[in-house]
Amino acid sequence: MTPFSSPYPARRALVRPASTLLIGLATALAAAACTTNDATVDPNTHKGPAKVVVSPSPVGLMLDSTITLKAVAYDSSGNAMTGAIAPVWSSDNLSIVDVSQSGVVKAIGVGTTVVRAEIDDVFGLDTVTVALPAPVLTRVVIVPGSATLTVNDTVTLRATSYSQFNALMTNPAAPTWTTSDSTIATVSSSGFVTAKRAGTATISGTIKGITGQAAITVNAPVVTLQRVDVSPDTASIVVGGTATFTATPYGSDGRVFAGAPAATWTTGDSTIATVSSGGVVTAKSAGATTVTATISGVRGTATIVTKAGTTSTATVNPAVRLSLKRLQTGGIDTLSDITVAGDHEETGDKELEGLVSYDLSSIAQGSTVQQASLTVGQDVSQSFNSPWTLGTLYVESASGFTLDEGTVPSDAVAVASANFGTIQVDVTKILQAAVAAHQSSVILRFRYAQLENNNGKIDYVWLNAGPINLSLSK
């Protein structure tokens, strides 16, 4: 073997950076069969170190780790040379390892390369292999990272694992799923999310203590009018009788649809039954038809069966002589005398009123009132001292009303003005409501209102209230 001879002059104090290592030198060293961690020279031609030994050798590193190498020069007798100049360190592949001039090697990329230590033109070689460390879970990502749902919608989330190298890796364990607000969104053990109500919630997936999150936004559903329910859904009505129907709108969420306009009512055959704008159906002739409620184009229908009923008449209560007493603040005055002392003066408007109860127990159940009336006669001679002028006489249902001055219930019937002898009063509306509600009796209030005081005196008016004559159908 030809003795090694360096093509470069001796450089005992040269410090050469690893990045400036000449490729030609590496080629020459390889040709000289320097295949171990030390390079030898011919002692007859080279007075410097006979060889340089780098340790430890060989070296295995994990990516991003470091190790400090040591280079020792030996003379031809195999003795370590003291006082030798410091080695110049270099790396054959800076993309795999870098080496500082203090011998610290840093693993930069995966692979195998050679690190060299040069002392007085003699090289020591060391083989360094860099490998990836075992992947470690450092990050969990939830896919999708966000979702916008409508109430009752669903979405399936999945958790993905990433290593310290930001590389996708197999999940080391099944994720544990949780929600920040189960009233807004729930999540199953497999990541299946269900939207519950409008709002926002965070879904978390945790694997071995590492957590990823997804933002869930839940919007309220757009509720549209879905159906109209007509109640009752069927009704049997005697000709001349009535039945009241109601329409209830429902939205696509199954709840009562708020803000819907009033229903428009129609019947299938107006010769059999008619219907008012308020849903009150009146039977006109025997037969069958339908009543329909329409709200914003959505229809609901009920069945109507009409039949000819038997008609009858009835009379309730005997005639009574009714005393209308003077109404005072706080209730009815308890004066018992018909005649008032001559020095008794009343000023201002007054009201006289009295009550009478009519027994309805004789009316057969299921009957419908077609007509109801009674006669009222006034006994003028025993009623008042002129010059009092009586105002309007009201006959009205007194059930549930407080006898306060000025009260005029909606079912009041104004039957006369000023003085009268005998008059017939139509109380059909009052009796229809009482019989339909299965009341055993009805109380009528007879009341004079807006009495004018012309310095006269009045405390009572006597009325002859006759029986109620009824026309019934069934």
Q: How is 74-140 classified by DSSP, letter by letter?
A: E-TTSPBPTTPPPPEEEES-TTTEEE-TT-EEEE-SSEEEEEEEEETTEEEEEEEEEEPPPP-EEEE
Residue pair 167/138 in contact (Cβ under 8 Å)? The answer is no
Whether residues 171 and 293 share a domain: the answer is no
Mean pLDDT over 334-349 rounds to 32
Whether residues 320 and 466 share a domain: the answer is yes
Question: Residue for token digits 């109209």?
Answer: 228
454 Cβ neighbours under 8 A, 6+ residues apart: 387, 388, 389
Whether residues 185 and 231 share a domain: the answer is no
Between CA 447 and CA 68 the distance in angstroms is: 118
What value does the mean pLDDT of the chain take?
A: 77
Which of helix, strand or coil describes residue 24? helix
Question: Residue for token digits 């919608």?
Answer: 153
Identify the residue with better confidence: 155 or 366. Answer: 155
**Where does the pLDDT of residue 12 fall: very low under 50, low under 70, confident under 90, or very high at 90 and above?**
very low
Q: Is the pLDDT of residue 405 over 60?
A: no
Q: What is the pLDDT of residue 433?
A: 83
Whether residues 287 and 337 share a domain: the answer is no
Whether residues 80 and 162 share a domain: the answer is no
Whether residues 84 and 145 share a domain: the answer is no
> Is residue 433 in a domain?
yes
Whether residues 258 and 337 share a domain: the answer is no
Domains in the chain, number:
4
Between CA 182 and CA 193 the distance in angstroms is: 10
Whether residues 258 and 394 share a domain: the answer is no
Task: Give, for 429, the enclosing helix (H) or strand (E).
Answer: helix 428-436
| CATH number of the domain encompassing residue 445 | 2.60.120
> What pLDDT, in 10s, does the model give residues 270-279?
999 999 999 9
**Where does the pLDDT of residue 395 fall: very low under 50, low under 70, confident under 90, or very high at 90 and above?**
confident
> Is residue 5 in a domain?
no
Domain ends where: 309, 335, 370? 309
Other beta carbons less than 10 A from residue 78's beta carbon = 8
From residue 293, how far is each of 164, 230, 279 by CA, in Å?
68, 7, 8
**Where does the pLDDT of residue 323 fall: very low under 50, low under 70, confident under 90, or very high at 90 and above?**
low
The two three-digit tokens of residue 220, written as one number: 């309220």
Other beta carbons less than 10 A from residue 315's beta carbon = 12
Mean pLDDT over 142-158 rounds to 96
**Where does the pLDDT of residue 43 fall: very low under 50, low under 70, confident under 90, or very high at 90 and above?**
low
| CATH number of the domain encompassing residue 114 | 2.60.40.1080
Mean pLDDT over 332-350 rounds to 34
DSSP 378: E
> Is residue 335 in a domain?
yes
Q: What is the pLDDT of residue 462?
A: 67
Mean pLDDT over 255-259 rounds to 91
Domain that holds residue 245: 225-309
**Where does the pLDDT of residue 20 fall: very low under 50, low under 70, confident under 90, or very high at 90 and above?**
very low
Q: Please tell me which of 79-88, 172-181, 318-327 the model is most confident about, judged by mean pLDDT.
A: 172-181
| Residue 90 C-alpha from the chain's centroid | 69
Whether residues 264 and 302 share a domain: the answer is yes
> Is residue 456 in a domain?
yes
Question: Residue for token digits 């290592």?
Answer: 21
Other beta carbons less than 10 A from residue 459's beta carbon = 22
- CA-based nearest residue to 6, from 20, 22, 17: 22
Amino acid at 298: V
Domain ends where: 219, 243, 269? 219
Could you tell me where the beta strands, DSSP code E, fall in 221-286?
A: 225-231, 234-238, 242-244, 246-251, 264-267, 273-275, 280-283
> Is residue 271 in a domain?
yes
Pairing outcome for strands 320-328 and 350-359:
antiparallel
Q: What is the pLDDT of residue 56?
A: 95
* Lowest mean pLDDT segment, chosen from 178-182, 232-236, 306-310, 379-383: 379-383
* Lowest mean pLDDT segment, chosen from 57-71, 319-333, 349-363, 445-459: 319-333
| Residue 127 C-alpha from the chain's centroid | 68
Q: What is the pLDDT of residue 19?
A: 33
- CA-based nearest residue to 29, from 127, 123, 126: 123
Q: Is the pLDDT of residue 415 over 60?
A: no
223 Cβ neighbours under 8 A, 6+ residues apart: 251, 252, 253, 255, 257
> What pLDDT, in 10s, does the model give residues 275-292?
999 999 999 999 999 999
* Lowest mean pLDDT segment, chosen from 52-61, 107-116, 337-346, 410-419: 337-346
Q: Is the pLDDT of residue 384 over 80?
A: no
| CATH number of the domain encompassing residue 180 | 2.60.40.10
CA atoms within 13 A on the CB side of 372: 27
> Is residue 373 in a domain?
yes
Domain ends where: 106, 131, 156? 131
Please state the pTM of the whole predicted model.
0.41
Other beta carbons less than 10 A from residue 8's beta carbon = 12
The two three-digit tokens of residue 237, written as one number: 């009505």
> Is residue 28 in a domain?
yes
Q: What is the pLDDT of residue 161?
A: 95
Mean pLDDT over 168-192 rounds to 95
> Is residue 13 in a domain?
no
Q: What is the pLDDT of residue 66?
A: 95
419 Cβ neighbours under 8 A, 6+ residues apart: 378, 380, 389, 390
Whether residues 335 and 444 share a domain: the answer is yes
Whether residues 387 and 469 share a domain: the answer is yes
Whether residues 328 and 443 share a domain: the answer is yes
Task: Give, for 323, the enclosing helix (H) or strand (E).
Answer: strand 320-328
- CA-based nearest residue to 411, from 432, 390, 392: 432
Pairing outcome for strands 122-131 and 199-207:
unpaired
